[in-house]
Amino acid sequence: MIESILAGLFGLIIGSFLNVVIHRWPRGRSVVKPRSHCVRCRKTIPWYDNVPVLSYLILRGRCRYCGCRISLRYPLVELIGGLVFFYFVRTLGPTLPAYKMCALAALLIALVFTDLEKRLLPDQLTLGGILIGLAFAPFAPAPDDTANALFWLAGVNLAGPAAALAHAAAAAIVPAGFLWAGGWIYGKVRHREGLGLGDVKLVAMIGVFLGLEATLLILLIGSLAGSVISVLYIWATKRDAASYQLPFGSFLSAAALAVALAGPRLLGLYIQ
């Protein structure tokens, strides 16, 4: 239990850092300098006002200096980070698979909000995430019967770390390739961009971490959720459907986080 609590506390701290990433990377800024500051009055935030969740509650959601409201996104990201880190270490133990899931969760949380706020999926998160996933793959491979079947049909017989890396690569390339092809066809038919390359890189990153089976399920959930929620949002706000830019990456990232949390039970229902 102590390991889970420590993981939760570490997740809160990571969530605080993710807030910096969410705000700065889409704007092309460094996450190292300058120090954390109020986006309105530019005053540097002291350490005692930067304690995850707690400082937001003590300050009642307002800057100590200028009184401007602090976005609810800050404590929300911190809280989600703490909860998912606690959950993965609690369910998987202090193991490499748990650390792998924590790393994926941190990437996905940041991507949900960067795409939601700026319609951007920074390469530092997607391409960097692919490298992190590949580093984990030989030591904490994702169970993936679909990838196994593909390699068996191709007559490829691998074992050990080589098989894990090959499966992770296939899980990145196959769904990302389908997504890119769908976007390309849409562009040719409608003569406008329907899908950004950021979404393709995101799907590749998810595949490296979770495997081919899970990634195909995530594409299904993310597409359905994005379509339904976007239609409802456009109807409620009376926006122009033709010009509305769907934050598809946010829906994919949220779906991936849900599948990672639900684990084998959700995958079992999907396969059945």
Is residue 85 assigned to a domain?
A: yes
The separation between CA 168 and the C-alpha centre of its own chain, rounded to angstroms, equals 17
Is residue 107 assigned to a domain?
A: no
| Helix 2-24 / helix 73-92 crossing angle, nearest 10 deg | 140
Domain ranges, residue 215 = 119-272
Of the pLDDT bands very low, low, confident and very high (cuts 50, 70, 90), residue 143 is: confident
> Pick from 60, 94, 128: which residue ends a domain?
94
Query: For the segment 110-121, what is each residue's pLDDT rounded down to a tens digit?
Result: 999 999 999 999
Same domain, 213 and 151: yes
Same domain, 139 and 83: no
Number of structural domains in the chain? 2
Is residue 235 assigned to a domain?
A: yes
Same domain, 154 and 27: no
Q: How many CA atoms lie within 13 Å of 12's alpha carbon, on the beta-carbon side?
A: 14
pLDDT exceeds 90 at position 25:
yes
Query: For the segment 39-77, what is each residue's pLDDT rounded down to a tens digit?
Result: 888 888 888 889 999 999 999 999 998 989 999 999 999
**Closest listed residue to residue 102, CA positions, set 203, 11, 6:** 11
Is residue 102 assigned to a domain?
A: no
Is residue 100 assigned to a domain?
A: no
Q: Where are the alpha helices (DSSP H) in the chain?
A: 2-24, 54-58, 73-92, 96-118, 123-136, 145-153, 160-190, 197-210, 212-237, 248-262, 264-271
Q: What predicted TM-score, i.e. pTM, was given to this entire model? A: 0.90
Same domain, 229 and 136: yes
**Contact indicator for 108, 251 with CB cutoff of 8 Å:** no
Residues 6+ apart with CB under 8 A from 202: 111, 121, 126, 249, 252, 253
Same domain, 152 and 68: no
Same domain, 70 and 124: no
pLDDT exceeds 60 at position 34:
yes
Is residue 195 assigned to a domain?
A: yes
Mean pLDDT of the chain: 87
Beta-carbon count within 10 A of 233 CB: 12
Beta-carbon count within 10 A of 35 CB: 11
**Closest listed residue to residue 163, CA positions, set 139, 187, 199:** 139
Which of 5-31 are b and which e, b meaning 16 or more Cβ less than 10 Å from the residue's Cβ? Answer: eebbebbbebbbbbbbbbbebbeeeee
Same domain, 21 and 143: no
Same domain, 58 and 143: no
Spatial separation of the C-alpha atoms in residues 183 and 218, rounded to whole Å:
17
**Contact indicator for 100, 164 with CB cutoff of 8 Å:** no
Is residue 139 assigned to a domain?
A: yes
Is residue 109 assigned to a domain?
A: no
Same domain, 134 and 85: no
> Pick from 27, 60, 94: which residue ends a domain?
94
| Helix 160-190 / helix 197-210 crossing angle, nearest 10 deg | 160
Same domain, 78 and 187: no
Give the chain's largest Cα–Cα span.
66
Same domain, 60 and 175: no
- DSSP class of residue 52 equals T
Same domain, 64 and 198: no
